[in-house]
Amino acid sequence: MTSIDSLNNLLTIISIIVTIISVICSISASSSAKAAKQYKEETLQLKDTFDLERILGRFQIGSKHFQNHTRKNDWYKGIDVNTVISPFTDILSDFGKVYHLMEDHNQLKSKVHSLNEIVQMYTSAKNPQKKEVTSLIIEITDLLQQELHRNTNKIVKC
C-alpha cells in the first residue's frame, strides 16, 4: 500500500509542476501576443506614414509637371491634352487611399475634389480658376506635410 501512496504522491507532485509550467507558459504567451499586437500596430503606422510620404512626393512632382505644361494660355494647342491632364488626375484619384490617414479627411477630400473638377476642364479654365489651382495645390501640399509631420512624430515617440 505504501508504494501506491508514494506513486500517487509522486504523480500529484508531477501534476502540480506541469500545471505551474503551463501557467508560466500562458503568461509568457500572453505577453508575447501583446508585444506582437503592438509591433503590428507600429508597423501599420509606419506603412501609413510611408504611404503619405509617397502620395505627397507624387503629388508634388505631378503638380509641378502639370503647372509647367499648362503655364501658357494656349498650352493645349498642338498637343494631346490627355498626356498632361490624365497623369495628374490619376495622382488625384490615388488620394482615396490616404483619406483615412488624415486627421481632418473631409478638408483634404473637398480640396482634392475641387482641384480635380478644375483640372478636368482646364482647357476652358479662366485665370481665376487657374489661380485657384495653384492655391489648391499649395493647400493640399500643406495639409499632407502637416499630417506627415504629425505621423512621423507619433512614430518617433514610440
Domain boundaries, the chain: 36-157
Long-range contacts, stretch 55-59, CB < 8 angstroms, 24+ apart: 55/91, 55/94, 55/95, 55/97, 55/98, 55/144, 56/141, 56/144, 56/145, 56/148, 58/91, 58/94, 59/91, 59/95, 59/137, 59/140, 59/141, 59/144
Provide the b/e sequence for 53-73 (b: ≥16 CB within 10 Å): eebbeebbebbeebeebbeee
Residue 23, C-beta contacts closer than 8 angstroms, at least 6 positions apart: none
Reply yes or no on domain 36-157 having CATH 2.60.200: no
What average pLDDT does the chain have?
89
Q: Quote the pLDDT of residue 158.
A: 63
The average pLDDT across 31-35 equals 89
Q: Model-level pTM? A: 0.78
Residue 31, C-beta contacts closer than 8 angstroms, at least 6 positions apart: none
Q: Quote the pLDDT of residue 155.
A: 78
DSSP conformation class of 74? T
Check whether 1 has a pLDDT greater than 60: no
Backbone angles phi, psi at 56, to 5 degrees: -65, -45
Check whether 56 has a pLDDT greater than 60: yes
